[in-house]
Amino acid sequence: MPHDVTHDTLAAAATWGDALHQATAWLRDTAASDSPSLDAQVLLAHVTGASRPVLLAYPERQLTPEQAALYADLVSRRANREPVAYLTGHREFLGLDFLTDPRALIPRPETELLVEAALTELRARFEHAPTAVLIAADIGTGSGAVAASLASHEPRLARVYATDISPAALALATENTQRLGVSDRITFLQGDLLTPLPEPVDLLLANLPYVAERDAATLPPDVTRFEPHLALYSADDGLAHLRRFFADAPAHLRPGATLFLEFGYDQRDAVTALAHQSFPTGAVRIGTDYAGWDRYAIVHTSSAHS
C-alpha cells in the first residue's frame, strides 16, 4: 500500500472524487486487481447507489461517514483479493442481474458464449417447428446463470432441469430464478451429474469443474481463495467430470439432441475425443472465447449436422 493511503485515510474521504482517487491508488499499488479504477468505481457505486457515470461526473459530491467507512472496508477486502462480485453480491450475465456469493462460482463472460450458442440452436429449432415442446438441462448449475438466462431469453423453452451436487449452490440458484421470474419453468435437482434427470432432454448444457488440482497454482488467488473448490477442480487431468458426463449422456437424450460443454483452454482434443466416443455418428463444433482460446464444444448427436 502506498504510504499515504490506508484504511483510515480512505474511511475519512469526504468526496466521491477523493474516495475514488485513494481506492484506485491502493488497488493499483498493491497489484490486487487488473482493473483498479473499474473496481474502485464499481465498489463506490455499490456503496452510494449512484451509477458509475454519475460518480465520475460529480467528484465533489459528499460521502457520509458511514458510506466512507463501508467503502474503506470493501476496498481493503478487494486489496486482499476478494472478488468484486462477492463484495457487491451481484454479477451481470447476458444482461440479467444475478446474486453472487461464495456458495457458487461467479458466472463468467465465456459461459455467456455457451448460452448464446444454445439460444441460437433453440431459435433455429423453433423456426423449423414453432410448436415444439423443447426441454433443456443445465448440469452443475452453480448460481443458476446458465439455466435462468436460457429460460429468460427463450420464453418458448418448455422447461429446464438444473442439477448440482451442492445444496448451497442450488439454494442460491433458486433465489436467482425467483428474482428473474423464471422459476415456473426451472426444476432444481440435487445429485451427481446427470443422475437426477427425470426425463430425456433436447439440449444438454454443462460447465463442469475442469481444473486439474496440480494446476491450482496457475489460477489467481481471487479464484482459489474465494470461489468454491467443488466448482473448480476435477480429478486426474481435470477431465474426470467430463469423462463420466459423456459416458452417461446418451441415456439422457431425446433423438437429435445437442450438447453444449465448456472446457479448459488445453482440453479441446480430449473433449472432442470423448464426444466422438459417445456419439460416433455425431458432429462436434468448437467455439472460442474472447481471447481466442478453444473453450466450448457443441455436439450434434445426430449425423444430420455432420
The residues of the shown chain that bind ligand SAM, judged by CB under 6 A, are 104-105, 107, 111, 140-143, 145-146, 163-166, 169, 192-193, 207-209, 230-231, 241
Pick between residue 121 and residue 164 the one whose CB is nearest to ligand SAM.
Answer: 164
Q: Enumerate residues 6+ apart whose C-beta is below 8 A from 111.
A: 93, 145, 146, 207, 262
Of the pair 55, 194, the CB lying nearest ligand SAM is at 194
Smallest separation, CB 36 to ligand SAM (Å): 25
Distance of closest approach, residue 188 Cβ to ligand SAM, in angstroms = 12
Least Å distance, CB 149 to ligand SAM, is 10
Instruction: In angstroms, give the least distance from the CB of 276 to ligand SAM.
Output: 23
In the complex with ligand SAM, the residue whose CB is nearer, 24 or 166, is: 166
User: Which of 39, 37, 19, 21 lies closest to 80 in space, CA to CA?
Assistant: 39
User: Is 15 within 8 Å of 60 (Cβ atoms)?
Assistant: yes
Residue from 210, 205, 209, 108 nearest 157 by CA? 205
Instruction: Return all residues near 19 (Cβ < 8 A) that are at least 6 apart.
Output: 10, 13, 40, 44, 63, 68, 71
Give the CB-side neighbour count of residue 194, counting CA atoms within 13 A.
23
Q: How far is the CB of 166 from ligand SAM (least distance, A)?
A: 4
CB-nearer residue toward ligand SAM: 11 or 193: 193
**Is the Cβ of residue 23 or residue 169 nearer to ligand SAM in the bound state?**
169
What is the C-alpha separation between 163 and 41, in angstroms, rounded?
35
